[in-house]
Structure 1
Amino acid sequence: MGVAPEPPRPAHVALPPEHPDPTVLPEITLLDRADSAGDNPVAPSGLPLPPGTLLAGQYRLVRPLGYGGMGEVCLAHDTKVDDRAVAVKMLHAELATESYSLLEGERRELVELNHDGFIRVFNYGHHAGVGDFLVLQYVDGLNLEEVRARAHEHPEEFGGDRFLEFVLAYGVRILAALAHLHAPERGKVYGDLKPPNVMHDGSTTKLVDVGSVRRAGAPGLTTALYRAPSVGPHGESEPQDDLFSLGETLRTLCGLGATRHDLADLAALAPLDDATGGHRGLGLVSLARALRRATRTARAGRFATAREMDEQLRGVFRELRSLRTGAETFEPSPLFLQSAYALDGGLGAAPEVRHWATAPAAPHHPAPGPPEVAGRLPVPRPDPDDDHHGELSRLSDDDPEALLQHTGDWRDSPEVHLLRCRLRLRVALRSEDGDLTGAETALALAEDAIGPANGPHDWRLDWHRGLLALARSRVPEARGRFDRVYAAIPGEYAPKLALGYCAEQLGRLHEALTFYEAVRLRNPSLGSAAFGAVRARLALGGPDALTDAIAALDAVPQHSRHRTAARTAAVRIRVDHARDAEGLGAAVRALGRLFSAHGLTDEPSRVRMKTEVWGAAHRLLGDADGGGGAITGAQLRAVAAHADPLLEFPADVRALRTDLSRFYRVLAHQAARDAPTPDDGIPLAEILLDRAYAVRPFGFLHARFGKDFPWLGKKIRNRPPRSAWK
């Protein structure tokens, strides 16, 4: 018969308020602590000394607390320090004869191991009949195995889905302790990381079994279920083996699969490309990818350091929280610079004058082309360990040819080669032949400098290969490269932005929306994510598509460099989808805010935006005086009454036509100066003059176009409008 599991210990769990800090945890208070039952319990079987025994003349034994890997742990009171509760760790009997060799070399260093993530070692001593012992800080709470069981039985105590964020908070806290231990000046490993060795007491967490701490590469204690495949036969461990054990601890805690091998299926992207595939949420995919990288079989495939793993767990936390709450959880990326470009495909600017060369068509807002995106995706931050980190960090986003010349005599390094790859890519995109040979050569040199041992695991190479694939419009290849980057750094937003774009280009609209929304919600300031989400929502359609698209653009905050582009796009989309007076009124009011509060100050752009909105009103009015249209003259007056007075939106049909005719004449002036000749050979200025003539209200007197527009030249001035030709 198996031994019945011990009943769960009674505890109170208090959820903390919502907070973007990835280290915040619930408050867990045991209701029956081991140090609260008095000082005179019955001596348990196997205890080498009776309760009340004074160890080394200082520590009075009270009761057993449990067993660690090297021996029994007992509660005691320190009679020389206010009778404080301490934990005394004594060796198993079979190790007692080796106690000196096991503890002497480490005990002083353990006392000096002063970090909040570890249980403190106050002292060490020797007592006849027991041998050597350690005196540890006493903590009494739920270990992570108990937390897992409790969260499984009572998920509401941990906020339901919020528990995954708390799992990451455990990871971030444990990694801080491991980073302290792994630091070169200490060179130690924990060796036996597992859920029972992490205690949650109140609002603190501690690694409690310090008996497994040892020099990196030295033999020591491990536990089979959490031991990395790369650990030696006698427990010889390296820092990356601790990261493996942490990955397995976190996987077990949140219940992702029966074994680490199940993480591959959980990390797949395929289910994201349908209407129901996003039910798991991209955050769960990112979490599975982070744990999968931590638990790779080979050390080279795992996170290189505790700091690197910490950065990615923090990123996944921010993603999970934003997807759950819809609230921003932003922190500057440690690996990418934020791009200055919105990747809006022109939607975030007033229409070009050529927009009016043809009759209005169904709304269509295409994404920018792959080569354009290749030159405008976020740029990786330079590696802090690179020889040229300082110089690279000070470079501005200047002309690529000038930067190539400026860096031409720099000593070669991986980051310098990667910079030249990006610069030569941008030069090629500006040239007529688009030759990417120079960029490919620079990337090959970067790969050689990184070396064959590290190259297959360096995400920077895949990122730049993805950019080159986009520059050639090889979107499926680019998607594969960016997916590898996402697997390596699952907490970062940049690969998800790139994957969202690739999915959009490949017609995988649900997948594109999933990626774009995850990035947008986490940091609404990123215009590229907002514009991508808008395009995907409008392409997918549905009753709420327009409302959700406008909401995504309105969520771009005032402090974002993309705020004006987002508000401009919101006006244009409202205009495109205006079908009645309500839709027109929303567009007019949004245009007023764009002019007065959201930064559109360029006068030519203002005229073009007014032409769009006034033109929509004219289209909705239909026949003269509002007859037969979607709105009436009375509704036009109501729209004008609620518009910003500074906008001077017309309140009657005649004033609307007068304004619109004037706008077309101004655009004709712009076209005569700037716009290229259309393919049919008819000058755009003439087309716009015809529009002005057609929309102009009838009157008894008409000014001659030649008098009004001497700048158009004699040929156009003497030519009657095309609409008058018979």
Structure 2
Amino acid sequence: MPERKRFCSRSECGAPVGRSRGDRPGRTEGFCTSCGHPYSFVPKLRAGDVVHGQYEVAGCLAHGGLGWVYLAVDRAVSDRWVVLKGLLDTGDQDAMAAAISERRFLAEIEHSNIVRIYNFVEHLDPRTGSLDGYIVMEYVGGKSLKEIANDRRTPDGRRDPLPVEQACAYGIEALEALGHLHSRNLLYCDFKVDNAIQSEDQLKLIDMGAVRRMDDDESAIYGTVGYQAPEVAEVGPSVASDLYTVARTLAVLTFDFQGYTNVFADSLPDPEHIEVFRRYESFYRLLVRATDPDPARRFASAQEMAEQLTGVLREVVALQSGRPRPALSTLFGTEVRVTDTELFAESAEDVSVLGARRGRRAAGPAVPPVPEGRGLGAALAPLDLPATALALPVPRVDPADPNAGFLAGLVAAAPAELLVALQAAPAPSPELWLRALRAQLELGDLPAAGRTLVALEEHRADDWRVVWYRGVASLVVGDFAHAALAFDAVYDAFPGEPAPKLALAVCAEVLGQLDNAAEYYGLVWATDPNFVSAAFGLARVRLAAGDRTGAVRALESVPETSIHYTAARVAAVRARLRRRPADEPLGPDLTAAAAQVSALRGFGLDAVRRERLSTEVLGTALDWVLSGSPGAAPGGGALLLGSELDERGLRFGLERSYRVLARLAQRGEERIELVERANRFRPRTWV
């Protein structure tokens, strides 16, 4: 037992004992000089000793918080390996009480992530004549989290933190074990890196000495500085303090947490100074909530924390692997709809006249380059904010709400009909008010929505769904700053959920914070491809920032299985062609855009939209050829949508597309206009 770990076992004292003086080593047995209590750091059992006539001791494994831990063979049960955990000092009543509580509670507990307790036996110490107690438990082979962490070293010998995804996996398993204890009205109290072992592919809690009943106000409380929640000393342990220890353990594992037992004993370092916090904001927010100084603001249960930690893990793995890791949320439904699939402001008439302004040009002479923003409708389309806000995921109905069953039958009702139907509800409830608030926002009745929201905030200020709808309502009316604050609070509460990140991305976009918007849109899209609005949002902000390649990549990543695949590919074609600087090479994008138009024939792109898109590609190519830009030399036998890539071939191609559009036109005036346009583009011929 190292001298630095020798302390008086009497809970009221805790003074250092058995320390060296000068050249004389410290005594391993003796009496505390502060209180006179006896101490002993000598193992009481030796190899070959048989305890309770059944357990043959092989030797010491370690020294735990309550005493020596021995490895033994159970001669009565197939010579299985077991662990005997003894007391440091049986004269200490608190230590004895802890051992008794361990025997009483834990022999009934069976969980895959908790070490099994087989027996509680007593053994006569031949030296002192005392009857010592030992807990017999399952032997778990493997390394503790502390050993795993300490074994990771950089080439210069410094500690190399665990990958955050590995630590999250450990945390999820630990929370499952704690949740099982909590369901039996037990608290673990002392989770830390020392008290969990990775055995093969499973984590197990191994030290159960600090476990106590939730209603126990008398037993001694065991914990560890740096891990224990600050309120435990005054109000005792709780579910919230157990969750606190898991978060502190995750922090110790994932970065070089210097000062976690003193300077940062009750806090976390500034995220600007911790790489893992800068890289994974959701992970940082999870730790912040789980270690909030106010226990009431932490996660409500181990299950809730495990769900959010799992969401963070999915996000981390998706970012690292480049493969989405979607999952069904227990808090939010899917996004209601994708409202902004048109990236550019244009109408059907704009598309129809695209290129007509170029008129008939004589072959040969070059014309000045077309300025940035080719053709009509080149400006990015503004967001329809009310529609975008109401298309965000909707919080799921609380199944415990008295009106949950009643509301389930009103899912398909129109907003006006819903408001009438809500008057017949059995009784008022939060879900009823929330549903009424949403219906009022959908109808555009902002005064009524405001009154409902005020009433909700007065009666349910601590309900996260009220905060969420405050953000939605603020976004609808254009109060972007307050909307962002509300959604940020929901993100703090549920860092594993995509919905608040999607909402924050919208707020950042309309506030002009393009980097933040791109980060949040990208985070959601990388994790869950079901949020297609994130792909369109990412493309919008990339285009606004001048990153055409990033915008096209986002749009072309929408999978074929999505109902928005065609809209995304159409937007990708336009993103390649519009808002281009005059000196930007166009050739590769023209070729790719034409290939996309051809490929869309089998993906639900109707003939009218296909031909309009073709006129845009061909018209852009004609501008490019006539501009004399670098790489725009005509000829060479290249084809674009079946037309030769020179002025004559492109004019024939445009004529052909406009004549197809004329045949498909529904109105006579439109048909005449399209035929005239085809004639204007047709090159001069002898016939």
Same fold (TM over 0.5): yes
Aligned twin of 2:429: 413
Match for 1:472 among 477, 481, 490? 477
- On the 8 A contact 2:188/2:212 being kept in 1, the answer is yes
The reply on whether 1:622 has 2:626 as its aligned counterpart is yes
Match for 1:403 among 388, 395, 418? 418
- In the TM superposition, residue 489 of structure 1 has moved relative to its aligned partner by 0.8
Give, in whole Å, the separation in 1 of the partners of 2:408 and 2:346: 34
Aligned twin of 1:197: 195
Matches within 5 A, 1:644-723: 652-653=649-650, 655-662=652-659, 665=662, 669=666, 691-697=677-683
Aligned twin of 1:678: none
Distance of aligned partners of 1:530 and 1:208 in 2 relative to their CA distance in 1, 3 Å threshold:
same
- On the 8 A contact 1:315/1:491 being kept in 2, the answer is yes
Aligned twin of 1:284: 280
- In the TM superposition, residue 465 of structure 1 has moved relative to its aligned partner by 0.8
Aligned twin of 1:612: 616
Aligned twin of 1:558: 560
Aligned twin of 1:638: 639
Distance of aligned partners of 1:282 and 1:427 in 2 relative to their CA distance in 1, 3 Å threshold:
farther
- In the TM superposition, residue 206 of structure 1 has moved relative to its aligned partner by 1.1
Greater Cα offset, 163-172 or 572-581: 572-581
Aligned twin of 1:514: 519
Distance of aligned partners of 1:377 and 1:261 in 2 relative to their CA distance in 1, 3 Å threshold:
farther
Match for 2:486 among 477, 481, 491? 481
Aligned twin of 1:572: 574
The reply on whether 1:211 has 2:209 as its aligned counterpart is yes
Partner amino acid, structure 1, of 2:103 = R
Give, in whole Å, the separation in 2 of the partners of 1:67 and 1:319: 39
Partner amino acid, structure 1, of 2:282 = S
Deviations 1:229-266 (A, max 9, x none): 22244x83111110011111111111275427664732
Deviations 1:65-103 (A, max 9, x none): 223333322111100112111111122324466777555
Deviations 1:342-392 (A, max 9, x none): 243523999533445686158432351322221111111222332333454
Distance of aligned partners of 1:650 and 1:551 in 2 relative to their CA distance in 1, 3 Å threshold:
same
- In the TM superposition, residue 609 of structure 1 has moved relative to its aligned partner by 2.5
Matches within 5 A, 1:298-697: 298-344=294-340, 346-347=342-343, 352-356=348-352, 360-361=375-376, 363-392=378-407, 396=411, 398-410=413-425, 411-428=427-444, 435-450=445-460, 455-456=461-462, 458-541=463-546, 545-576=547-578, 580-596=586-602, 598-600=603-605, 602-622=606-626, 631=632, 634=635, 637-640=638-641, 652-653=649-650, 655-662=652-659, 665=662, 669=666, 691-697=677-683
Give, in whole Å, the separation in 2 of the partners of 1:573 and 1:260: 52
- On the 8 A contact 2:576/2:589 being kept in 1, the answer is yes
Deviations 1:123-178 (A, max 9, x none): 122223343321011123322222222235479999x8871111101110001001
Aligned length: 614
Partner amino acid, structure 2, of 1:164 = V
- In the TM superposition, residue 315 of structure 1 has moved relative to its aligned partner by 1.0
Deviations 1:636-667 (A, max 9, x none): 75234599xxxxx9993453242243256468
Percentage of pairs with the same residue: 34
The reply on whether 1:168 has 2:165 as its aligned counterpart is no
Give, in whole Å, the separation in 1 of the partners of 2:236 and 2:473: 43
Partner amino acid, structure 1, of 2:189 = G
Q: TM-score, normalised to structure 1's length?
A: 0.76
Give, in whole Å, the separation in 1 of the partners of 2:347 and 2:156: 52
Partner amino acid, structure 2, of 1:227 = Q
Is the partner of 2:58 in helix, strand or coil?
strand
Partner amino acid, structure 2, of 1:366 = A
Give, in whole Å, the separation in 2 of the partners of 1:164 and 1:100: 39
Partner amino acid, structure 1, of 2:594 = V
Distance of aligned partners of 1:105 and 1:483 in 2 relative to their CA distance in 1, 3 Å threshold:
closer
- In the TM superposition, residue 188 of structure 1 has moved relative to its aligned partner by 0.9
Distance of aligned partners of 1:506 and 1:161 in 2 relative to their CA distance in 1, 3 Å threshold:
farther
Distance of aligned partners of 1:664 and 1:638 in 2 relative to their CA distance in 1, 3 Å threshold:
closer
Give, in whole Å, the separation in 2 of the partners of 1:446 and 1:149: 51
Partner amino acid, structure 1, of 2:50 = L
Q: Which runs of 5+ in 2 are unaligned?
A: 6-39, 126-130, 358-374
- In the TM superposition, residue 323 of structure 1 has moved relative to its aligned partner by 1.7
Aligned twin of 2:227: 226
Deviations 1:581-608 (A, max 9, x none): 4332211110111221x332x3443343
Q: Which runs of 5+ in 1 are unaligned?
A: 6-43, 272-276, 429-434, 644-648, 673-683, 702-726
- In the TM superposition, residue 561 of structure 1 has moved relative to its aligned partner by 2.9
Distance of aligned partners of 1:630 and 1:69 in 2 relative to their CA distance in 1, 3 Å threshold:
closer
Is the partner of 2:226 in helix, strand or coil?
helix
- In the TM superposition, residue 400 of structure 1 has moved relative to its aligned partner by 1.9
- On the 8 A contact 1:260/1:292 being kept in 2, the answer is no
- On the 8 A contact 1:564/1:594 being kept in 2, the answer is yes
- On the 8 A contact 1:217/1:236 being kept in 2, the answer is no
Partner amino acid, structure 1, of 2:240 = Q
Give, in whole Å, the separation in 2 of the partners of 1:540 and 1:346: 18
- In the TM superposition, residue 579 of structure 1 has moved relative to its aligned partner by 5.5
Is the partner of 1:73 in helix, strand or coil?
strand
The reply on whether 1:242 has 2:247 as its aligned counterpart is no
Matches within 5 A, 1:73-92: 73-92=69-88
Partner amino acid, structure 2, of 1:461 = V
Is the partner of 2:84 in helix, strand or coil?
strand
- On the 8 A contact 1:664/1:692 being kept in 2, the answer is no
- On the 8 A contact 1:621/1:628 being kept in 2, the answer is yes
* Larger fraction in helix: 1
Give, in whole Å, the separation in 1 of the partners of 2:442 and 2:620: 39
Distance of aligned partners of 1:108 and 1:201 in 2 relative to their CA distance in 1, 3 Å threshold:
same
Greater Cα offset, 91-100 or 579-588: 91-100
Distance of aligned partners of 1:609 and 1:653 in 2 relative to their CA distance in 1, 3 Å threshold:
closer
- In the TM superposition, residue 421 of structure 1 has moved relative to its aligned partner by 1.2
Aligned twin of 2:368: none
Distance of aligned partners of 1:671 and 1:305 in 2 relative to their CA distance in 1, 3 Å threshold:
farther
Aligned twin of 1:119: 115
Give, in whole Å, the separation in 1 of the partners of 2:41 and 2:64: 17
- In the TM superposition, residue 296 of structure 1 has moved relative to its aligned partner by 0.6
Give, in whole Å, the separation in 2 of the partners of 1:655 and 1:285: 55
- On the 8 A contact 1:345/1:368 being kept in 2, the answer is no
Aligned twin of 2:59: 63
- In the TM superposition, residue 193 of structure 1 has moved relative to its aligned partner by 1.3
- In the TM superposition, residue 329 of structure 1 has moved relative to its aligned partner by 1.7
- In the TM superposition, residue 322 of structure 1 has moved relative to its aligned partner by 1.7
Deviations 1:368-426 (A, max 9, x none): 13222211111112223323334545654653223333333223222221122112111
- On the 8 A contact 2:344/2:381 being kept in 1, the answer is no
Is the partner of 2:81 in helix, strand or coil?
strand
The reply on whether 1:265 has 2:275 as its aligned counterpart is no
Give, in whole Å, the separation in 2 of the partners of 1:116 and 1:200: 12
Give, in whole Å, the separation in 2 of the partners of 1:137 and 1:148: 24
CA RMSD of aligned residues (A): 3.6
